[in-house]
Amino acid sequence: MFSLKGKSAIITGGGSGIGKAISMLFAEQGAHVHIVELNSESGKMVSDEIIAKGGMASVHSCDVSDQRKVVALFNSLGKVDILVNNAGIAHVGKVDNTSAEDFDRVYNVNVKGAYNCLFATIPLMKKNGGGAILNLASIAALVGLSDRFAYSMSKGAVYAMTLSVAKDYIADNIRCNSISPARVHTPFVDGFIAKNYPGKEEEMFEKLSKSQPIGRMAKPIEVATMALYLCSDEAGFLTGCDYPVDGGFMKLNT
């Protein structure tokens, strides 16, 4: 079950964190993984690890906010069976202390970047008779989180794009779903805490972990396994849905 043998999968931001876990798992299940990374060094490390384990992987340096470059890259790959829109950046701030520059930076990567990849992928999938698209949204798209104005805006847009794409291309055999993780323990989280809460790293890690009713952050592989299911043929009846991977955050918090 859940074989991706013979499939070509594009994973943006596939060189670290959740993206790395997805890249590794998809390759393990037989996909040729195309890792799209702004930082080609981190992408190459993952690609090398996949190849060393007998898998198939290629790394491509690309800024997802640049539509011309995204379209050229995706067209050069030819066949695209799976797209995972994972690339994204975070931001801390309320609306009145979020600068226009920071707002645009988050928008350009998280919203425009996802749009650019969808724009480039849909024609290829239509040509190939269908495909599976997975967008990484967030619980921030669905509930109010303190000091996450720009980030929440961007993930709300990702959630809305998921529904729109699923509706518009259902007759083309293109499925589109999203995952909304709560906090996931990645190197990014450790760096984020160190940068924003210097001297209080342990305290903040504990606080953020316990904000999930299950009492801890998710592991990247736990998001990746949901991604595998949603992009596999076994999920062929699922489209236009968002799947929280949140340790009970949205339903069990009181």
**176-221 confidence digits (pLDDT tens):** 999 999 999 998 888 888 988 899 999 999 998 998 999 999 999 9
Q: Provide the pLDDT for residue 188.
A: 81
Neighbours of 139 (CB within 10 A): 21
Sign of CA dihedral 236, 241, 246, 247: negative
Q: Is 229 a catalytic residue?
A: no
Q: Who's near 233: CB < 8 A, 6+ residues apart? A: 3
Alpha-carbon distance of 166 to 241, in angstroms, equals 9
Q: Which candidate in 115, 151, 169, 243 is catalytic?
A: 151
pLDDT band at residue 254, thresholds of 50, 70 and 90?
low
pLDDT digits (tens, 9 = 90+) for 19-51: 999 999 999 999 999 999 998 899 999 999 999
Alpha-carbon distance of 35 to 109, in angstroms, equals 16
64 in helix, strand or coil?
coil
- Whether domain 8-182+219-244 has CATH 3.40.50.920: the reply is no
Please say if the pLDDT value at position 97 is more than 70: yes
Domain boundaries, the chain: 8-182+219-244, 185-217
